[in-house]
Structure 1
């Protein structure tokens, strides 16, 4: 797992909130409950962002693959037309 600076900052903020809540209430259980909820939201958001990013990369990859196939088809069509043109010019020149 690769952690970036945003995850570290988010964990630091969650820790700060948890510590502040624990100190103000004088009890650790509500603060831990809040930390668990915040951490769960962080993990779910991070996972959703990664899935969304992966889907976008897959979409762009499929578009690029389609463009390459299309370009290859155009090259094949051009080569066939050039071969047909040469064949027709050869037949025309041979008949004359």
Structure 2
């Protein structure tokens, strides 16, 4: 029987158009592990593997574990974007800030 964690992983995976194999490969995991997360109640899912899965699904571990009760899907996507942004070089960050400023000026 799927758990809320499994349902969220499956929903986000299918929204991105990933098969079990594709997500497993992207998250450096196995297809059977992803299937188990989606369909069973593993006693203690690996935090390291959940972090890799969350990154590939553009979300956070918190969203996968807690879901809509505390963190919305949009909040999780924003947090994921910010993690990616923080890893960018200064020039790329400056370009993104300029684009956001231009969008804000279009009122």
TM-score range, shorter chain: under 0.3
The higher relative CO (CA closer than 8 Å, separation ≥ 6) is in 2
TM-score by length of 2: 0.23
Which structure shows the bigger proportion of residues in helix conformation?
1
Q: Which of these two proteins has the greater Rg computed from alpha carbons?
A: 1
